[in-house]
Amino acid sequence: ETVPRNADRKVPPPGMSGQLMRAVLFNTTYPVQLYSAILNRIRADQYLNRVRAGVIKAYLLRLARARPGVAGIHEEMITVSLNETSPNVPYRLGRLFAVLEKAQADANHDREVGSTIKNKFFASASSTPAVVFPPLIKLAQHHIAKSDWGWKTTQRMEEIMAGIDAFPAWLGLEEQGMFMLGYYHQRKANFKKKEEVASEGE
């Protein structure tokens, strides 16, 4: 997971295996090199799966236990599934990005579109939210107007943004991890709700 998905040789960076084994044996924080490599691969591949989300969660959990409150992160904030009451702003921003992405998909009736907001803005949204989110929210109004479920998207956006006083100028490494967890959890929840709606219609 730390190397490009299309790489011929799946070889992680030198020394990382040893650092990870020491962290496991001595119950210390996982190596920041592993965490950074995972974040970089997510941004480059625009692909966040269960394994990558699990690495982020494991790193942040151990960090929060070792250094409570670092980057505003506490152990109870790092949950298995969607935490709609989390006050953590980066987590909420990740959730918001997932909702904006779904608004675009709904407006296009889930058809494949050439350039999605994820393709163009995911990396910058996770690092410099103040630059990216205002124009994305403005664009979302266009998507909402075209969607049959626009009112539901608006409702969800309002709920998430109620806990965001201002868009941060930038996010540190730990905050970027919380952003990606929020995105992953909200996206999974979006799919679950879609499946529930489909099963009700059968």
1-18 tens-digit pLDDT? 888 877 777 787 778 889
Q: Which of 118, 76, 75, 69 is nearest to 94 (CA)?
A: 118
Q: Locate tokens 């905050």: which residue?
A: 175
> Per-residue pLDDT averaged across 147-156, rounded?
87
d(CA 187, CA 1): 20
Closest CA to 174 of 36, 52, 81, 48: 36
Q: CA-to-CA distance for 59 and 62, rounded, in angstroms?
A: 5
Which pLDDT score is estimated for 199?
46
Q: Confirm if 113 and 104 have CB atoms less than 8 A apart.
A: yes
SS (H, E, C) 41-73: HHHHHCCCCHHHHHHHHHHHHHHHHHCCCHHHC
pLDDT in tens, 115-144: 789 999 999 999 999 999 999 999 999 999
d(CA 70, CA 67): 6
At 202, is the secondary structure helix, strand, or coil? coil
Which has the higher per-residue pLDDT, 149 or 172?
Answer: 172
Which of the four pLDDT bands, split at 50, 70 and 90, describes residue 195?
Answer: low
Reported as a single tens digit per residue, the pLDDT across 92-112 is 999 999 999 999 998 887 666
Q: What is the pLDDT of residue 5?
A: 77
DSSP state of 14: T
60-101 per-position pLDDT tens digit: 999 999 999 888 899 999 999 999 999 999 999 999 999 999
Distance, in Å, from the CA atom of 178 to the CA atom of 30, rounded to the nearest integer, reads 16
